[in-house]
Amino acid sequence: MRILAEGGGLSGEEAMADQSSAEPPRAANDPERLGQLVRDQAQTIAHYKKMYDRSSALAKIGVWECDLATEALSWTDGVYDLFELPRGSPVARAAILAMYEPESCRKVQELRARAIQEGGSFTIDAQIVTANGNMRWMRLTADVEMEGGHPVRIFGTKQDITEEKAAEEELRVLQAELIHLSRRTAMAAMAETLAHELNQPLTAMVNYVAGTRRALARGDDPHEIVRNGFDAIEASAFRASAIIRSLRAMTGGRATRREAIDPNPLILEAGSMALAAAGDGASIDYALGEGMLVLADPVQIQQVVINLVKNAIDAVRGSERREIAVHSRSTGDAMLLCVEDSGPGLAAGIVDTLFDSFVSSKPDGTGIGLSICRTIVESHGGRIAAANRPEGGACFTVVLPLAEVDSAGQAAQQDRDVNGEMRRASYGGGQLR
């Protein structure tokens, strides 16, 4: 029976009796259990230390600390290994700084002083010479610990990144070699392009000279012959110069001169130049639409037509039917130009890649001309395509946006979707529809 004290609590004697009957904690009074607890904790700590050591070794990273009052350094094994110093040996900060490359040492000292002053942190890649004389790169991270608003110690990590830096240098060398190779490739392509494009006016000049000689040999009026011959040669020479300027502008990324032009005189002149360069008596049937203006670089657009007509001449060479036709018409907001021939047509496997560089349907072709054509046409906001005609031969189609002329008579180029016009360019009975 319990006796309640005044206020409903247990009496002092009852409380003492109740307290004495309580079982004391087993761990506190059981040495064996207490020892087991200590051993378990030691095993856990050893396990985590082993995990830390293994991960640090794999990452080649160590932890360091510096007491700002005494400049005393504390390192883990990873930092000793990085500097190739005996593990656990005493280290002095001045001796360690002497192992840094001068520029790295200066940068580390600057960042350290600023971090201590501001109570901040920093990261830097620094170069060192180890105790064994090996050059190494390390990534140093540091953070300043504050107590009562004052910096007391600085600590962080040091990681060996020598392999990473070596890989970066190897990549830099490879990139430099790739850039050099790209430049050589670009120079080779440029030389091939110049050779291809300049071949036409130079060949035309040779043919004009040969024609002049033949006319003189026949006894024709020498003054008229020489004057016409010189005029034609001069025009071809100016054209060669214009081609070089145009190609320099294209490859240099400079804006080319564009103006609102009537394409018909350019097309007719381009056809004449291509025929003169061919020199085999071929002829062209023209059906050109009237009243169209395109905003274009005349030299570049004319070069496209010359390339297409020259290809058509090559296609019909040796054929029984030597038909070449050049048609153009307006589709409302674009000019549709087609160069047709009655040659053997295009091989099925080459149509999709015909406008890629170094792809040609001719045995002795360079694969440059049509690639240049596509570059020029697309730079003018147009499209170029090729297809075989149902009755035989091929047709190359060019779509160029028409120029708009404002109230002041100035041409302004519009952004138009010419893809639709290209899709609608099809053939029926050998004619565009």
Closest CA to 284 of 244, 333, 341, 211: 341
Contact 357, 189 (CB under 8 A): yes
The whole-number average pLDDT for the span 217-222 is: 76
pLDDT higher than threshold 80 for residue 87: yes
* pLDDT, tens digit, 9 for 90 and up, residues 36-80: 777 778 788 776 667 766 766 666 788 999 999 999 999 998 899
State the average pLDDT over residues 182-194.
Answer: 60
* Lowest mean pLDDT, pick from 118-132, 144-158, 405-419: 405-419
Give the confidence band of 33 by pLDDT, cuts at 50, 70, 90: confident
| CB 140 within 8 Å of CB 96 | no
Q: Which of 148-162, 164-178, 224-238 has the lowest mean pLDDT?
A: 224-238
Nearest partner of 149 among 116, 179, 123, 178, judged by Cα: 116
